[in-house]
Structure 1
Amino acid sequence: MPLHQSMMSEERAPSKEQARVLHQLLEVIEAVRIRRQEDYREKRHPQLKRFTQEELTDEACPTYKNWLRGRSQRLPSSSLLMQIADYLECSLRERNDLLLAAHYLPEQPLLEGEELRQALEQAQILMEALPYPAIVVTHTLQVQAANTFFLRLLGLPPLETLPAHQRNTIYFLFHPKVCRQANPMINAEAHALWQKHVMYALQLFQQQNVYSQHDAWYQQIVQQWCEEFPDFQEYWEKAREATRQEDAPTKIMLARMAPTGEVLSIRVRQMLVSVSSKIYPAVSAFLPVDEAARAVYTSVGCVSL
């Protein structure tokens, strides 16, 4: 064999370390694949997936069978690993198991532990300093804190008096006692803007938690919303199938003027302020857009630019 061909063959030949890493990765993939088969042994998968090696090869990774047979030992890219993870419906932990097995950095979309505690503390300090209705939200759109202006604007009791599952902006959007704009009989324009806001919020939730969509907490909260709100499933599916991201819309709210109690339709703009290197936790503030909003804000003690 000519020298240059011999050198090229040696360059293509996998190292022992590369072969070891691939073997380790295949063990992790197979463990997840078999686990998914067990999950659906007694029930039919909605997309009729069987989670076989052949199906994984056909649907997600054309070289998978070659890896198993030793015909290829080239390590996959991280993007290909995520395709495999999507097919296997991996939780965030399972995705990171695959990445770590292939010696890639794990996905870390969220703050945890002490970092999260400090970020929430900073967010609450910022929220309390704002002269606008504002809340502290996490990646699940769960409301961790709300200032007095926000509670007055929506007519909500102190946050700690609400059950945990009700302290969520998705819940606020769908609950008729909190968001009267959900009723098309109130005002056609307000209802149309409410629908846009729902689409925006659901797409935001789905995108911020894309790696957790097969985690138990994710599936439980979506199921809870489906059971509690009749129209939720329809909007959820529309958001999943949407081909473009909705822009943050101007929000129409029905707010009560203090101290007269007069109900006015007001327009507000939502502003999100992050307090760390991650998007969440963040402070979500509501700024007045029209004169009616400014009047209501002034009546409850807010700044009305």
Structure 2
Amino acid sequence: MMNSEPGSSHRLDVLRDVLHQIETLRIKRQQEARKRPHPLLKRFTQQELANEACPTYRNLLEGRSRRVPSQKTIMRIAQYLECSAKERNDLLLAARYLPESLELEGGALKQALEQAQHVMGMLPYPAIIVTHTLSVHAANDAFQRVFEIPPLEALQEPQRHLFHFLFHPNFPMRVRSTFNDQARNVWQAQASLGIHLFKHSNILYQFEPWYQELIERFSTLADFRAYWERDGKPLLQRDTPSKIVLSRHAETSELLPIQLRHIHISVCSHRYPCIAAFLPLDEAARVVFASLDSTKESSEHPFSLSSTQYLGSPAEMKLMANPLR
């Protein structure tokens, strides 16, 4: 009999804890669904949970099975119950599995950001520091000058995000990255990669309020929702074409199409926060980068408009209308 096997009492205790945790969450979701119907018409019944995530769930409840669900099954149950990161880890701990590794926070995050700031300060290339939410924590002078974006402190908090940089139709990075068909195709691949990166990096947070609010906010930007809902896997980062952008020669003010290679630099055991840097790939890029080194930044940043007002100078708009070949 099960009770006569070594450790059977412990297994029953674990199973009791797991089922209690699951039922607590299931009933909570069921009550929420009664107040506001679920978009997918989930009812969060015991039978529905068994059908969607754990075929043996009724047997476990009725004592016909005493096998603690596997870690993979626990994760499926957490997905079905739309658990937050904390709720999912509570389930894993109840089943005596290791919790999922969460992102850095508090003092550890502060230390990692300081380390990233130090490393970025030594880079000769345009670079930004991003967190797991793809928020832009800092940008160096070379990044601001190559892409002609305003200083971060001039942007509102919601605008300090890669999705704003990528998708806002009037933001310099998008304007300068879609000036002809070739550049636009590269931008489209990178937009898909950016969405995929966010989803992959935050798969454990997809039911957190901040995640839902962020997607809702950026859905007001042109094209974002279409890319967000697009089926299929994007190109891997190593297969994504090199970035093409119009950048200004610091000495002549001439706009030149340049090619850049995008790399990530980790600064701790976690992937984030990390540094996203852009390396020159062609002669035009090297010329632009050299011009930045040979000129001193003016006391006032040349970009004075807010990112939401930027439309480009008349000469730039003429260049957009007559793409480079």
Q: State TM-score, norm by structure 2.
A: 0.85
SS in 2 for 1:300: helix
Partner of 2:232: 242
Q: Contact 2:3/2:9 (CA < 8 Å) preserved in 1?
A: no
Shift of residue 14 of structure 1? 6.5
Aligned-partner SS, 1:301: helix
Tell me the residue number matched to 1:3: none
* 2:18 counterpart SS class: helix
* Separation in 2, partners of 1:153, 1:243: 30
**Residue 9 of structure 1: how far off its partner (Å):** 8.6
Q: 1:18·1:75 contact (CA, 8 Å) conserved in 2?
A: yes
CA distance in 1, matches of 2:176, 2:76: 38
Q: Which runs of 5+ in 2 are unaligned?
A: 295-325
Q: Deviations over 1:201-239 (max 9, x none)?
A: 110110000000000011110110002x1311110011x
**Residues 90-109 of structure 1 correspond to what in structure 2 (within 5 A)?**
90-109=83-102
Calculate the aligned-residue CA RMSD, in Å. Answer: 1.9
Task: Pick closer, same or farther for the CA change 1:245–1:21 going to 2, 3 Å.
Answer: farther
In structure 2, the residue matched to 1:76 is: 69
Q: In structure 2, what is the Cα distance between the partners aligned to 1:180 and 1:54?
A: 48
> What is the correspondence of 1:196-235 to structure 2 with a 5 Å cutoff?
196-227=189-220, 229-235=221-227
Match of 1:35 in 2: 28
* Cα 1:235/1:56, change in 2 over 3 Å: same
SS of 2:35's partner is coil
CA distance in 2, matches of 1:139, 1:237: 20
CA distance in 1, matches of 2:194, 2:4: 53
Residue among 172, 175, 192 paired with 1:178: 172
Equivalent of 1:295, from 287, 295, 298?
Answer: 287
- Report the Cα distance in structure 1 between the residues aligned to 2:16 and 2:282, rounded to whole angstroms: 63
Say if 2:156 is the partner of 1:153. Answer: no
Change (3 A) 1:218 1:61: same
Aligned counterparts of 1:182 and 1:70: Cα–Cα separation in 2: 64
Tell me the distance in 2 between the aligned counterparts of 1:296 and 1:125.
24
Deviation track 1:112-164 (CA, whole Å, cap 9, x = no partner) reads: 22111111110000001000001111111111111100011111222122111
Residue among 71, 93, 104 paired with 1:111:
104
Aligned length: 291
CA contact (8 A) 2:167 2:222 kept: no
Deviates more, 1:117-126 or 1:106-115: 106-115
Moved over 6 A (4+): none
Unpaired segments ≥5 residues, structure 1: 1-5
